[in-house]
Amino acid sequence: NTCPKPTIALVHGGCFGGGLGMMAACDIAIASIESQFSITEVRWGLVAGPILPQLCDAMGLRPLRRYALTAERFTAATAKECGLIHEICETGGLDEAAAPIIDALLKCSPSAIVETKDFVLRTAAHGVDDHAAASISLGHAMRRRTEDGVEGLASFNERREATWYPGE
């Protein structure tokens, strides 16, 4: 969940228990249409404690309560409906579905991705008061002065790819 690099889960077949928790901790999740999901721990008298925070963040409290309490299997369509996955692709199409996302990530500043991911995770459950707003504004202004910030803005103004993009 806190890996500074972007993480992508590509799911085909069954995704159960701890595997589902690992997928929920990824930044981006794509599943093929035949995928099945289940939070299986209660079926074996266990509690899915280690993965429940990631699942709650990914799918929300209401669906989590249902599926964590019943251990029911659910489809890729249901997983998408509750936000657990971002996209559904045809069987065998995971690499093709992931390619434009990976390309989009490569076009972004690596250091800005790290900072953005950290910021999102730190502020996800917190309101922003006046003090935090001032800190956020200062951080944003300072980010524009970094090497990546300067290059990123220049590439935008010049309508070109940033120097960190490895190309096609």
Q: What is the pLDDT along the chain (168 residues), one digit of tens a residue?
A: 889 999 999 999 999 999 999 999 999 999 999 999 999 999 988 888 888 989 999 999 999 999 999 999 999 999 999 999 999 999 999 999 999 999 999 999 999 999 999 999 888 876 667 777 788 788 878 888 888 888 888 998 999 999 989 986
DSSP H helices, the chain, are 17-24, 52-59, 61-70, 76-81, 94-106, 110-123, 130-143, 147-157
Q: What is the pTM of this model?
A: 0.84
Q: Looking at residue 126, what is its pLDDT? A: 61
Q: Looking at residue 124, what is its pLDDT? A: 81
In angstroms, rounded to a whole number, what is the distance separating the alpha carbons of residues 132 and 129? Answer: 5
Residue 161: φ, ψ to 5°: -75, 150
